[in-house]
Amino acid sequence: MSGGRLRLPDTILSRTLLVAVGTALLLTLLNLGALFLRPPPRDMPLSAYELSRLLRGERIVKTTGGIAVATAAAPPAADAQTTADRTATLALAHQLGLPPGDVRLHREEMHRSRFPRPADQDRRELAAYGLDHFNPVVFGAFTAAAKLPDGRWRIVARRGQDRLQSWQTGTVATTLLSVLIVALLAWLFSSRLARPIRAFGLAAEKVGRRQQLTPVAVSGPAEIRLAAEAVNDMQRRIAGYVAERTALVGAIAHDLRTPLTRLAFLLASAPEDLRGKAEAQIAEMEQMIAATLDFVADETRARPHEPVDLALLVEGVVDDLADTGRDVTLAGAAPATVSGDPILLKRLFANLITNAVTYGERAKVTVSTVAGWATVEVADAGPGLAEADLERAFEPFYRAESSRNRATGGIGLGLAIVRAAAARHGGEATLRNRREGGLSACVRLPTV
């Protein structure tokens, strides 16, 4: 309570309850408005006595809207009367004091079954009470006529309506309008409630893809704000852990260069065969350290993204490798534009294609697009990998048995850099064995 005013807790429960109660009240008010503001139906039933007064030219107490009174030289043409119509005609003739032949009554077929009244019931009442007490009621549309003393006929008619009457049309329109208003309000409230939840989903997706993390806006009900603060704290902790891990790996790799340099100086006076073997090992360790430092730099360096012509970039990488004598071809390149770091993307595909031609003899590269995604597939003609190694191949410093030799080299960071770079661009990298032999590496990136 603040300033003497009671305030409801700002929670999902209170907001949902407010929406439900507000919707119910709004529907109730709209329905009551339609009930009290719209005029009632004018299709009122008429008794034989009231109809006889109209045929005499007299007025009745009931509203006569929709009833037409006219005079004609001949009676109206009508279909054959039913037993109920003939019974009502007899009662109407008695009320008018005219012979039955000078009175006509015909009800439209569509209204005869609305309030069914068996003809034998009319006859029983007529026999029990006599014509003086028999006063049947006429519903719906009808045509009644009585012969006047001058030979003309007075005709009283109420026509049926095939479509909805005005009051019904208004009620239907009001109901539809109320549904539209409630649906619009429900959409507005639901979208406001779902907006922070949608932000949570996007934040979680970025964490899973290792993209650059952005804080979730702390707004909405109390539960949503609490969850947003927890997600932001989790992002900060994850970013801190990743930065600490990469910094540690980078520091170790950097510090290893100093003892390696001292070893190289100490080996200067060693025998030729021993010095050659040791220098080869030192060179390999230098290569591993350089690759590790590059990997750490890619993980920690933040570069702005820009539109990149993916087909042109991949074509450039293929041409560069082909100029060095590698067996690599570009089978197809569909136009595709992605948002990313051109330097990191070039390194991604250089590592991927180099890995294919190194372990798979030759590579065939294809760039395609479908449903907002660009796919770069690199197929080689090598022996492939065991199913257990397809996923582990992306782990840092992991090398399959077929790549653990000095002839091919490699320290196990090429595919790790590929997956990390793809994830930073909102994409993914996968490996699969081809049916015709060899390995197929695919990188999917969202287009812009």
**pLDDT > 90: what percent of the chain?**
19
| pLDDT of 163 over the 50 cut | no
| pLDDT reported for residue 62 | 78
Residue 17 has a pLDDT of: 66
pLDDT given for residue 410 in this prediction: 56
Is 2 among the domain residues? no
Q: Given this model, what pLDDT does residue 219 score?
A: 73
Question: For residue 240, what pLDDT is reported?
Answer: 75
As given in the structure block, the two tokens for residue 381 are 């003609």
Residue 78 lies in a domain: yes
Distance of CA 337 to the CA centre of its chain: 26
309 confidence band (pLDDT: 50, 70, 90): very high
Is residue 390 very low, low, confident or very high in pLDDT (cuts 50, 70, 90)?
confident
The answer to whether residues 91 and 58 belong to one domain is yes
Whether residue 140 sits in one domain with residue 78? yes
* Rounded Cα–Cα distance for residues 436 and 379 (Å): 11
What does the pLDDT look like over 409-444, one tens digit per residue?
556 677 888 888 888 888 899 999 998 888 999 999
Query: Residue 393's pLDDT band (boundaries 50, 70, 90)?
Result: confident
pLDDT (mean) for 21-48: 72
The DSSP annotation for 317-357 comes to HHHHHHHTT--EEEEEE---EEEE-HHHHHHHHHHHHHHHH
What average pLDDT does the chain have? 77
**435 plus 316 within the same structural domain:** yes
Residue 61 domain-assigned?
yes
Q: Is the pLDDT of residue 104 over 80?
A: yes
One domain for residues 431 and 338: yes
166-209 helix and 222-266 helix, angle to the nearest 10 degrees: 20
Domain presence at residue 6: no
Domain that holds residue 387: 303-446
Calpha distance 332→148 (Å, rounded)? 97
Mean pLDDT, residues 388-399 taken together = 80
Which pLDDT does position 193 carry in this prediction?
72
Q: Is residue 72 part of a domain?
A: yes
CATH code, 277? 1.10.287
199 in any annotated domain: no
User: Same structural domain for residues 360 and 442?
Assistant: yes
pLDDT of residue 429: 92
Antiparallel, parallel or unpaired: β 142-147 and 103-107: antiparallel
Residue 220 forms part of a structural domain: yes
Mean pLDDT throughout 33-38? Answer: 68
Higher pLDDT: 418 or 404? It is 418
pTM equals 0.48
Average pLDDT of 351-371? 90
For residue range 201-243, list pLDDT tens digits in order: 776 666 655 555 667 777 767 777 787 788 788 878 877 776 7
Sheet harboring 67-72: ordered strands across? Answer: 67-72, 153-158, 142-147, 103-107
Q: What is the mean pLDDT of residues 328-338?
A: 91
pLDDT band of residue 121 (cuts 50, 70, 90) is: low
Answer yes or no: is 5 within a domain.
Answer: no
For residue 154, give both structure tokens: 């007075």
| pLDDT band with cut points at 50, 70 and 90 for residue 167 | low
| Residue that is last in its domain, among 264, 283, 302 | 302
Least confident of 127-136, 332-341, 357-366: 127-136
Confidence at residue 48, expressed as pLDDT on a 0 to 100 scale: 87
Question: Which letter does DSSP use for residue 155 in this model?
Answer: E
Instruction: With residue 366 as reference, give the H or E element that holds it.
Output: strand 363-370
DSSP 97: T
Do 317 and 436 reside in the same domain of the chain? Answer: yes
Report the pLDDT value the prediction gives residue 107, as an integer from 0 to 100. Answer: 82
Lowest mean pLDDT among 108-117, 189-198, 287-296: 108-117
| Same domain flag for 222 and 288 | yes
Span 290-312, average pLDDT: 74
- Specify the pLDDT at position 210: 54
Q: Are residues 319 and 399 in the same domain?
A: yes
Mean pLDDT of 94-120: 69
Amino acid at 121: Q
Residue-level pLDDT at 145: 93
The pLDDT value recorded for residue 406 is 45
Q: How many domains does the chain have?
A: 4
Say what the pLDDT of residue 375 is.
Answer: 95
Domain match, 319 and 422 both: yes
Residues 81 and 20 in one domain: no
Pairing mode, strands 137-138 and 67-72: unpaired
pLDDT at residue 115, as a whole number? 41
Same domain, 23 and 145: no
CATH number for the domain that contains residue 373? 3.30.565.10
Q: Are residues 59 and 136 in the same domain?
A: yes
Dihedral pair phi/psi, residue 36, rounded to 5°: -95, -25
- What pLDDT does 329 receive? 92
Q: What is the pLDDT of residues 170-209, one digit of tens each?
A: 666 777 787 778 777 777 777 777 777 777 777 666 665 5
Question: Are 352 and 443 a contacting pair, CB within 8 Å?
Answer: yes
* Residue from 91, 78, 77, 157 nearest 123 by CA: 91
pLDDT at 236: 80
Share of the chain above pLDDT 70, in %: 73
DSSP assignment string, 197-242:
HHHHHHHHHHHHHTPPP-PPP--SSHHHHHHHHHHHHHHHHHHHHH
**Which of 99-103, 159-163, 273-277, 415-419 reaches the highest mean pLDDT?**
99-103
